[in-house]
């Protein structure tokens, strides 16, 4: 089991996931939101998605790249990524809300005036999910090393 686990990857992914999953949302919640007269961020969803990101990304870093268990965790990570592109409020969607897969929706009510902003970026999200999936599979499927060159 020790040959499947890498502590260096765990520490690296843990630092990255805590930074983007909790530290930046806390800066947004306690630094940016009080300064704005409007609120477009969902604080509870920011924290929940941050915790999900920390869990999956840290576990993803525990195992070495060419292991089967990392492939299955990676499949779960891709599903989590699709979830983030549906609900928003994560590092992948710049912590902004989404109302559909890859559709940014901001609705504001300022002094009785309703503002609505919608931006469709589903094709960008789809390309990112495909590239992440290909990268994950690429790490699992490696070419067989030529044994004759070692002799």
Q: What are phi and psi of 89, to 5 degrees?
A: 55, 45
Q: In the chain, what percentage of residues exceed pLDDT 90?
A: 48
Q: At what angle do helices 68-87 and 122-140 cross, to 10 degrees?
A: 170
Does residue 110 register a pLDDT over 50?
Answer: yes
Listed residue (15, 127, 134, 124) closest to 71, CA to CA? 134
Output the pTM of the full model.
0.82
Coil vs helix vs strand at 63 = strand
- The predicted pLDDT at position 33 comes to 76
- Between 13 and 143, name the one with better pLDDT: 13
Cβ contacts of 126 within 8 Å, gap of 6 or more: 102
Do 41 and 88 touch, CB atoms closer than 8 A?
Answer: no
- The predicted pLDDT at position 11 comes to 92
- The predicted pLDDT at position 109 comes to 77
Does residue 38 register a pLDDT over 90?
Answer: no
- Between 115 and 120, name the one with better pLDDT: 120
Do 54 and 98 touch, CB atoms closer than 8 A?
Answer: no
Do 38 and 108 touch, CB atoms closer than 8 A?
Answer: yes
Rounded mean pLDDT of the chain? 86
112: tokens are 């009785």
- Between 83 and 37, name the one with better pLDDT: 83
């Amino acid at each position: 089991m020790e040959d499947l686990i890498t502590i260096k990857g765990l520490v690296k992914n843990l630092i990255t996931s805590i930074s983007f999953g909790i530290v930046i949302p806390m800066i947004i919640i306690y630094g940016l939101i009080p300064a704005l007269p409007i609120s477009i961020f969902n604080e509870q969803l920011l924290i929940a998605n941050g915790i999900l990101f920390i869990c999956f990304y840290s576990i993803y870093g525990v195992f070495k790249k060419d292991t089967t268990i990392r492939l299955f965790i990676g499949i779960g990570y891709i599903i989590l990524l699709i979830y983030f592109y549906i609900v928003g409020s994560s590092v992948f969607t710049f912590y902004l809300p989404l109302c559909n897969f890859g559709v940014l929706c901001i609705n504001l009510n300022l002094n009785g005036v309703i503002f609505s902003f919608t931006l469709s970026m589903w094709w960008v999200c789809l390309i990112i999910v495909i590239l992440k999936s290909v990268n994950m599979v690429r790490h699992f499927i490696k070419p067989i090393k030529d044994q004759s060159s070692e002799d």
